[in-house]
Amino acid sequence: MPNANEDTPSALNQVQRRAVTELLRVAPVADDLACRFQEAGFRLALVGGSVRDALLGRLGNDLDFTTDARPQDILGIVRPWADSVWDVGIAFGTVGAQKSGYQIEITTYRSEAYDRTSRKPEVSYGDSIEDDLVRRDFTVNAMAVALPEKEFIDPHNGLEDLAAKVLRTPGTPEASFSDDPLRMMRAARFSAQLDFEVAPEVVRAMTEMSERIEIVSAERVRDELNKLLLSRHPRTGLALLVDSGLAARVLPELPALRLESDEHHRHKDVYEHSLTVLEQAIALESEGPDLVLRLAALLHDIGKPRTRRFEKDGRVSFHHHEVVGAKMTKKRMTALKYSNELVRDVSRLVELHLRFHGYGDGEWTDSAVRRYVRDAGPLLARLHKLTRSDCTTRNKRKAAALSRTYDGLEERIEQLQQQEQLDAIRPDLDGNEIQQILGIGPGPVIGKAYAHLLELRLEHGPMEHDDAVKALTEWWADQS
């Protein structure tokens, strides 16, 4: 999009043309809904992100509307019309619906504000769209299109800011962030999603008011962080969180990396290295944004500050930082209310991210390769990507050598996969067979026998049935 300062009329005309095209596409559903509100004596407008995305030429099937109708009135209008309706957000004035493949949210004109001790916004309803728009987070989200007449409403010059690719607040940023402190994180998120610059006065307010984020619930902070990480340019948003001081309050392990020298002196600090690893991991994604991989890439070295040691020869070491980092990852993600499954997977990747570096020039035994696969389990594909991303050396020869070595490991894994079904490694005897051979019932000893046979399987590969029985009976004799 052209810079508005260079050619504002041209830029504005361009975004307006895009909007017309997008709005014509959704008009059958939007206009039909608007006519129903009009017949009931209410007003309806497409609003916020939907208008912004229409102007950018990328309006999807998620449509946001605002209205002077109260939630119960919205339900009365929408229920006979929509394919399905849900009211989980009705306490906040929002009714959801699906119609002809469109996901629709309709919200009563409203305002949100926090007091100094509240973690949840207080909702009050308004009567004019102008009052609703002034309470929106940013000017590019404070535009509306009244329906069905298609009147463009832009009291805060959001169209100009959109053309200039700048994020500003409709009122003062201090008032906006006081109403909802999460908007400070949204500024970072939108800068990453849209590749927009955040206005200096907004950055200044974020920095001065960063402590206000602490009254926002962990769940809302987590959700905003996820949206940032899954955006097209997460590095931009993360840097803004760190520079403004917000990260020190919601993800303090990230800015802590800024002070730590990387042991290979490849970058000025581990913070820059971690952001580079994140970008390189994103480049390896093949099926869309992967939150598990991106979190692991961002957090893989957070154990370094706690494990830093200055050696006698002048080097800096971070022994076992992957183990410490895995524990720190689990603690931080738990505090941010991530699911147990996500916490488990990300912390496991952090714990395993250095394992490959013991591979050297490919001297691992088949047993070591089996253990690598077994320990990674279903995370193996992500571990491949994380390990490759962790190479940020500027020495092209060294980078090429590391890549070739990892190619070799993946080839060996593939060969063993074909021979032994590595992704389903199990002992050569199951629990029932163990009980039958030893002549005992269920109990702890069966688990010990199973673990012994699994160890043999990892060490030597598959065994014939008779060999497995012999190994089990010999072990049982030693136990006796």
433-476, pLDDT tens digit by residue?
A: 878 877 777 878 887 877 777 777 777 777 777 777 787 787 77
Contact 308, 260 (CB under 8 A): yes
Regarding pTM above 0.85, the answer is no
- CB within 8 A of 225, min separation 6: which ones? 185, 250, 251, 336
Position 13 pLDDT exceeds 70: no
Put residue 100 in one of left, alpha, beta given phi > 0 → left and psi -120 to 50 → alpha: left
Give tens-digit pLDDT for 30-48.
Answer: 999 999 999 999 999 999 9
Contact 74, 84 (CB under 8 A): no
Most confident of 50-64, 125-139, 317-331, 334-348: 334-348
Q: Hey, is 290 helix, strand or coil?
A: coil
| 404 CB-side CA count, 13 A | 7
Pick from 454, 463, 466: nearest CA to 426: 454
Pick from 270, 267, 291, 294: nearest CA to 280: 294
CA distance 335 to 338: 8
Asked whether residue 396 falls in the same domain as residue 472, the answer is no
Give tens-digit pLDDT for 251-303.
Answer: 999 999 986 444 444 444 789 999 999 999 999 998 899 999 999 999 999 99
Give tens-digit pLDDT for 296-346.
Answer: 999 999 999 888 887 777 777 787 899 999 999 999 999 999 999 999 999
Asked whether residue 320 falls in the same domain as residue 462, the answer is no
- Give me the phi and psi of 268, to 5 degrees please: -70, -25
Which amino acid would we find at residue 30? A
Residue that finishes a domain, picked among 424, 449, 466: 424
Give a yes or no: residue 280 inside a domain.
Answer: yes
CATH number at residue 23: 3.30.460.10
Residue at token pair 């970072």: 188
CA distance 454 to 456: 5
Asked whether residue 403 falls in the same domain as residue 271, the answer is yes
Asked whether residue 44 falls in the same domain as residue 155, the answer is yes
Asked whether residue 55 falls in the same domain as residue 14, the answer is yes
Q: Which residues pair with 105 in a beta bridge?
A: 64, 96
Asked whether residue 262 falls in the same domain as residue 404, the answer is yes
pLDDT for the residue numbered 332: 97
Question: Is 393 exposed, middle or buried, given 0-12, 13-18 or 19+ CB atoms closer than 10 A?
Answer: middle
Its domain, for residue 415, covers 252-424
Measured distance between the N- and C-terminal CA atoms of the chain, rounded to whole angstroms? 78
CA distance 339 to 358: 31
Asked whether residue 278 falls in the same domain as residue 381, the answer is yes
Position 360 pLDDT exceeds 70: no
Query: Average pLDDT of the chain?
Result: 85
Give a yes or no: residue 265 inside a domain.
Answer: yes
More confident residue, 12 or 320: 320
The count of structural domains within the chain is: 3
CA dihedral 272, 274, 279, 284 (to 10 degrees): 150
CA distance 247 to 243: 8
